[in-house]
Structure 1
Amino acid sequence: MNAGQTDLRTRFEAAFMPNYGVPPVALARGEGSRVWGADGREYLDLIGGIAVSSLGHAHPAIVRAVSEQVATLAHTSNLYLHEQEVLLAERLLGLLGAPGRVFLCNSGAEANECAYKLAVKYGKATGRTYFVATENGFHGRTMGALSLTGKASIREPFGPFPVDVRFVPFDDVDALKAAVTDQCAAVFLEPTQGEAGVVPASEGYLTAVREICDATGALLVADEVQSAIGRAGHWFAHQADGFTPDILTLAKGLGGGMPIGAVVGFGPAGTIYEKGDHGSTFGGNPVSCAAALAVLDTIDSENLLAHVRTVGDRLARGVAAVDHPLLTGVRGRGLWRAILLAEPKAAQVQAAAERAGFLVNAVQPAAVRLAPPLVITSEEIDAFLAALPAILTEAADA
């Protein structure tokens, strides 16, 4: 590591709270699916800012949209409206193809906080006293979102929480049916669990969840913070999974790198809030909305949904074809995949990949997450696949 990298990491450690540790690489710039470190070293970005950089880095459409908007009107607060937020809300509802109402915020955690408050208000109005969420699910680190997150190691240091949340195994219909009664306000889940290691539901599970919620009157909240906006090869993952939630949460790839989140309430769930019930000073700001519109326009005009399915399948087939004792398989959809390992050596794979010029994420001890920009090329995928056996060997020997 050269002086530039070392100096920035030292300064980071001295200036920031220690919750992140010290990241291993200091990035200076990016273009397309590639980024360059402060030392000038080039990397193929296969994590995309944790599924955020949907159009890669410095995409001309986002650069143009953000530059023009910030030079025109950068902020209004929620005291005033502006056209970009209206256009974005209309566009999301059009892509969803169902009547609903939108709330715009700044992040996935904020989107899930909004959904949580909607469900709390619904529960109070209907006499419902508890929530159901899934084990190993992840909905954010703010207190409301954390109360719904089924990972004990990050929940327990900050409890107790203000509401009763009952956790059930993901992808277990019988367990969910036993847990959800007419006293349950809402079921929160990810159609595919992201932080658990890109774990998809089995066929029929999500439609069964919908049926259970319909039978009991519980709201179904789908957290698509990671899985939407083309990541899984569809605008929204639930559209391919054959169900419609009552509340949908979005963020990450929607802004293509700019901070934005969104909540959609379908039908009656869209009008649970009354004036003054919720708000966000920065939510739906003109610059982030302009970026989001550029992302949606580009995915549409460049037919990126089909591209994601094609190159995502190419990536999955290529990983599956690698014969290596450390590799046991691959799972996921589109350009959202996890490489599965025979031993808990994901951190070593991440480090070896970095040394080889690829950025990946050790999302679980034995699972490596890949969430590259949606614009990644077949040639770039092939370059990673060619390097993967040596990366695995280096990690296995570490």
Structure 2
Amino acid sequence: MGIIRDLGETYLAGNYRRFPVAFVRGQGTRLWDEEGREYLDFCAGIAVCALGHCPEEVVSAVRDQVEKLLHVSNLYWTEPQARLAQILVENSFAERVFFCNSGAEAVEAALKLARRYAYLKHGPEKTRIVALENSFHGRTYGALSATGQPVYWEGFEPLVPEFVHVPPDDLEALREVVDERTCAVILEPVLGEGGVIPLSREFVEEARRVCDARGALLIFDEIQTGVGRTGKLFAYEHFGVEPDIMCLAKGLAGGLPLGAMLAREEVMEALSPGSHASTFGGNPVACAAALAVLRRVSSPDFLAEVRLKGEALRKGLLQLCERFPEKLKGVRGLGLLLALETRIPASSLMQALFERRVLTTAPKPDALRLTPPLTVAYREIDAFLTILEETLREG
């Protein structure tokens, strides 16, 4: 055991099931551990390192900002935060932005905003929030209550009241549960931790329709799907439906902690001074990093390349499904957010790939999730597919 692992085993909380490796350096789609061994990273910090590890434009932006200003709190304005809000608004449906530090915090802000907006506009009885079964929105209490996977609830109940869950893509269930007491519907365009399952366009359109009919807000959790991951800057663009509120995090700052909650002007007006806050939210350094990420990711040419790379990876995976039908079932997802559906335990395949120094994740027993950096090279996609084929053949 290396010194880093030894220290971690001794002093860190045991709430993570970590792989037996400590990384000390990264570049692009590659990582190196403390022994100097190289790994091919198709995890990217769980869809966080959008431009890969230590991209020059992000490193340079962070270095420049660190030398100017680290933190002043949200009692004052800072240029990186204001500029970042501008670029997010100019490239989305939204008109206002609230910054925080993580995806769970962005979801908490969205849930609070939805309830406060309903309280101010409709009165105190409109409090119900509809979410989806098999969804994941975070570990804090509001986000956990929205999460539709009881395995995450164990030992933490009672949860926040007035949350109701319906099956994904069940139009009748959605119509039945959204009523005059509903203040919001929250959904992931692609269920990430649920196994990388895209919602149907019909269901997303119906969510918009029933929200409009009942005076409820539509919240899109784009923490995993946003910032180019699906080949569009935001996944809602695939569905032709705009939400009222959107949550972002993960890839937003390319590896630094930053979350954002975006909303239309009328909705965001419900957050008056003192109603919600975040001491570190929109930190100048994190915002400088995010500006560097978005300048590149928001380019139409860059996004078109993400779609092409996603298709190349999907095509290679489908070919492996044909060669190993006893082990693989199919492929689902959008862009470079893909899941290989397995007949064998996905965790076993993930472990076998790790032993070959390839990093992936397995959010479900039958789903191997692939979220390489959006800058992954075609030769690296080919290398991954070659190693995966060898692993399947030998396993």
Q: Specify if TM > 0.5.
A: yes
TM-score bracket for the superposition, by shorter chain length: over 0.9
Q: Distance in 1 between matches of 2:299 and 2:137?
A: 31
Residue in structure 2 matching 1:34, options 17, 30, 33: 30
Q: Does 1:331 align with 2:332?
A: yes
Give RMSD over aligned pairs.
Answer: 1.3
* TM-superposed deviation, 1:301: 5.3
4+ residue runs of structure 1 moved beyond 6 angstroms?
Answer: none
Structure 2 letter corresponding to 1:69: Q
- Report the CA distance shift for 1:56/1:18 in structure 2 as closer, same or farther (over 3 A): same
Q: What is the aligned partner in structure 2 of residue 391 from structure 1? A: 391
The 5-angstrom pairing of residues 55-204 of structure 1 reads 55-96=51-92, 98-125=93-120, 126=122, 127-204=125-202
Structure 2 letter corresponding to 1:159: E
Cα shift readout 1:278-310 (whole Å, capped 9, x = no counterpart): 111110011000000000112245932111100
Q: What is the aligned partner in structure 2 of residue 340 from structure 1? A: 341
Structure 1 letter corresponding to 2:48: V
* TM-superposed deviation, 1:198: 0.5
Q: What is the aligned partner in structure 2 of residue 23 from structure 1? A: 19
* TM-superposed deviation, 1:157: 1.7
Q: Distance in 1 between matches of 2:336 and 2:117?
A: 36
Is the 1:33–1:372 contact (alpha carbons within 8 Å) kept by the matching residues of 2? Answer: yes
Is the 1:123–1:129 contact (alpha carbons within 8 Å) kept by the matching residues of 2? Answer: yes
- Report the CA distance shift for 1:283/1:15 in structure 2 as closer, same or farther (over 3 A): same
Q: Distance in 1 between matches of 2:329 and 2:57?
A: 39
Structure 1 letter corresponding to 2:197: V
* TM-superposed deviation, 1:99: 4.9
Q: Distance in 2 between matches of 1:272 and 1:124?
A: 9
SS of 1:321 mapped into structure 2:
helix
Q: Distance in 1 between matches of 2:21 and 2:177?
A: 44
Q: What is the aligned partner in structure 1 of residue 253 from structure 2? A: 255
* TM-superposed deviation, 1:267: 3.7
Q: Distance in 2 between matches of 1:129 and 1:194?
A: 26
Cα shift readout 1:103-135 (whole Å, capped 9, x = no counterpart): 001100000010011122123332313111000
Structure 1 letter corresponding to 2:50: S
Is the 2:109–2:276 contact (alpha carbons within 8 Å) kept by the matching residues of 1? Answer: yes
* TM-superposed deviation, 1:30: 0.4
The 5-angstrom pairing of residues 266-345 of structure 1 reads 266-300=264-298, 303-322=301-320, 323-324=323-324, 325-343=326-344, 345=345
SS of 1:18 mapped into structure 2:
coil
Is the 1:13–1:22 contact (alpha carbons within 8 Å) kept by the matching residues of 2? Answer: no
Structure 2 letter corresponding to 1:20: Y
Is the 2:40–2:359 contact (alpha carbons within 8 Å) kept by the matching residues of 1? Answer: yes
Cα shift readout 1:201-247 (whole Å, capped 9, x = no counterpart): 12322111100111111111100000010000001000121101011
Structure 2 letter corresponding to 1:177: R
- When the two structures are superposed, what TM-score results if normalisation uses the length of structure 2? 0.96
* TM-superposed deviation, 1:23: 2.9
Cα shift readout 1:6-42 (whole Å, capped 9, x = no counterpart): x432321221111103333211100011111111111
- When the two structures are superposed, what TM-score results if normalisation uses the length of structure 1? 0.95
Q: Distance in 2 between matches of 1:11 and 1:302?
A: 45
Is the 1:182–1:217 contact (alpha carbons within 8 Å) kept by the matching residues of 2? Answer: yes
Cα shift readout 1:258-282 (whole Å, capped 9, x = no counterpart): 1100001114212111110011111
* TM-superposed deviation, 1:390: 2.0
- Report the CA distance shift for 1:388/1:99 in structure 2 as closer, same or farther (over 3 A): closer
SS of 1:221 mapped into structure 2:
strand
Q: Distance in 2 between matches of 1:198 and 1:189?
A: 13
Structure 2 letter corresponding to 1:118: L
% identical equivalent positions:
46
Q: Give the paired residue count.
A: 389
